[in-house]
Amino acid sequence: MTRRVAVFVYGVLSYAVGFGVLLYLIGFIGKFLVPTSIDGPLQGSLVGAVAVNLGLILAFAVQHSVMARPAFKRWLVRRIPAEAERSTYVLASGLTLIALFALWRPMGGIVWDVQQPAARVALFALFAAGWVTVFGSSFLINHFDLFGLRQVWLCLRGKPYTPLEFKTPGPYSLVRHPLYVGWITAAWATPTMGAAHLAFAVAMTAYILVAIRWEERDLVDALGQDYADYQQRVPMLAPRLRRAKKSQVEGAAA
């Protein structure tokens, strides 16, 4: 029982760190409410700032991708309770992002600065829509499983873990990766884009495009033909406009 309670407490604390860090990230990228910001005046050398920032994004990418691979998970659960594996991933992601917030170096420079009030509101709305898509998609798959809480809750109650089913609700029938569409949207949608924010948006987008290939390789290994069929049927990130237009035409004809 003590072990189960300890795993549960660890899972709850890891969730608090992971979720809190995600909320901070919204303010950090959006440049509001939190004490540090992705953009600001350059301090020190530009080359140094680029090197530090790219290093921080690389650290996030390596942590995220390595710890998500089945081989790493098998290695990890030989060392820690299996029920705590996802919480450890969430905690490590949170700590990597805390390091990013602490060490990030604003780089000055304005890439674009939209002044027109309606356009500013539209860009803020797009930024908010990106985050709603991130959180909404996590709930459609299973927010509490993705953040490790379901695993430690089942452990506390002495029940075995059951893997999530493959499902394609709502936006998953339009694109295969709505959560990543939300991330990319939130990274780019801003009325005022500074150089450091642009570097973040470019690097995160590039990383997501690479990470999707690895995630899909694992999904094909785990689900076989079901996922291969899904890949044929549904585009990766951009919904098929032609099919939407065709169905609109059919709707209008009817």
Ligand X SMILES: C[S@@+](CC[C@H](N)C(=O)[O-])C[C@H]1O[C@@H](n2cnc3c(N)ncnc32)[C@H](O)[C@@H]1O
Applying CB under 6 A, which residues contact ligand X?
A: 137, 141, 146, 164, 166-168, 172, 177-180, 215, 219
Distance, in Å, from the CA atom of 144 to the CA atom of 154, rounded to the nearest integer, reads: 11
Q: How far is the CB of 39 from ligand X (least distance, A)?
A: 26
- CB of residue 2 vs ligand X: minimum separation in angstroms? 30
Which DSSP category does 83 fall into?
Answer: G
CB atoms within 10 A of CB 221: 10
Q: Which is nearer to ligand X, 4 or 215 (CB)?
A: 215
CB of 124 to ligand X, least distance (A): 23
> Is the Cβ of residue 106 or residue 182 nearer to ligand X in the bound state?
182
Q: Closest distance between ligand X and the C-beta of residue 227, in Å?
A: 8
Q: CA torsion, points 17, 19, 101, 133, in degrees to nearest 10? A: 160
What is the smallest separation between the CB atom of 92 and ligand X, expressed in angstroms? 14
Q: Are 38 and 91 in contact (CB under 8 A)?
A: no
- The CA angle 100-106-111, to the nearest 5 degrees, is 125
Residues 50/209, Cβ–Cβ less than 8 Å:
no
**67 or 155, CB closer to ligand X?**
67
Nearer to ligand X, 231 or 247 (CB): 231
Of 2, 8, 5, 3, which Cα lies nearest the Cα of 148? Answer: 8
The Cα–Cα gap between 101 and 107 comes to 14
User: Measured from the CB atom, is 90 or 196 closer to ligand X?
Assistant: 90
